[in-house]
Structure 1
Amino acid sequence: MDEIEIYKLLGYIKISPYRTETLKAIDNELKMPSEIAREINVNTSQVSAALSDLKKKNLVVCVNEEVRKGRLYKSTDLGKEIIKKL
């Protein structure tokens, strides 16, 4: 991914404090939306919406999509690169 695309993604993430804080909270760990919500002190629904946005941009991935409860998310290589720039 070239530098211009990286900056576009950074702008997209920084425009939303929920996306920014959600991505930072995941960092290099496996986390559930409820854990992230507690950590950044927002509603789980806001974290879920942010995770959906981040997933569409290939910044996070759900490692156990088949389960209904207890889904775990981690950052992708691109997500890790973006986290360094936040």
Structure 2
Amino acid sequence: MENERNEDATNDWDQIGFIISSKYRTAVLEQLVESPSTPSSIASRTGLPITHVSRALRSLRDRSLVELLVSKEKRKGRIYGVTERGQHLWKRIETEGLID
């Protein structure tokens, strides 16, 4: 049981390090914690290029921190939301004061 908790804590820090090592991933996750959104909406609110937003979404999705809320086949109007895991890690990032 103790080992499991230590592995979870290590995994949390690995994921947190992954998120905060990119201003794009940090900005995208922050937007999605506030509410589900489309890539173009995230780009316009943050001032980030859409290509960086899309790349950040893909990498966060690969780690199950964000999810596509519409059908995979949908090409326009893709809406993304944060997963429970992403929400948990974002709270840790804020609690630990790891973002400006």
Above 0.5 in TM-score? Answer: yes
RMSD of aligned Cα (Å) = 1.2
Percent of aligned pairs sharing the same letter: 33
Point out where structure 1 has 5 or more consecutive residues left out of the alignment. Answer: none
Matched, 1:53 2:59: yes
Q: Which runs of 4+ in 1 moved over 4 A?
A: none
Q: TM-score, normalised by structure 2?
A: 0.82
Tell me the equivalent position of 2:78: 71
Tell me the equivalent position of 1:31: 37
- 1:24-45 deviation digits (Å, cap 9, x = unpaired): 1110421000111111111111
The amino acid of 2:21's aligned partner reads I
Q: TM-score, normalised by structure 1?
A: 0.94
The structure with more radius of gyration: 2
Point out where structure 2 has 5 or more consecutive residues left out of the alignment. Answer: 1-6, 94-100
Partners of 2:8 and 2:29 in 1: CA distance: 20
SS of the equivalent of 1:30 reads: coil
The 10-residue stretch of structure 1 (47-56 or 58-67) with the greater mean CA deviation from structure 2 = 58-67
Paired residues in the alignment total 86
Alpha-carbon offset, residue 66 of structure 1: 2.1
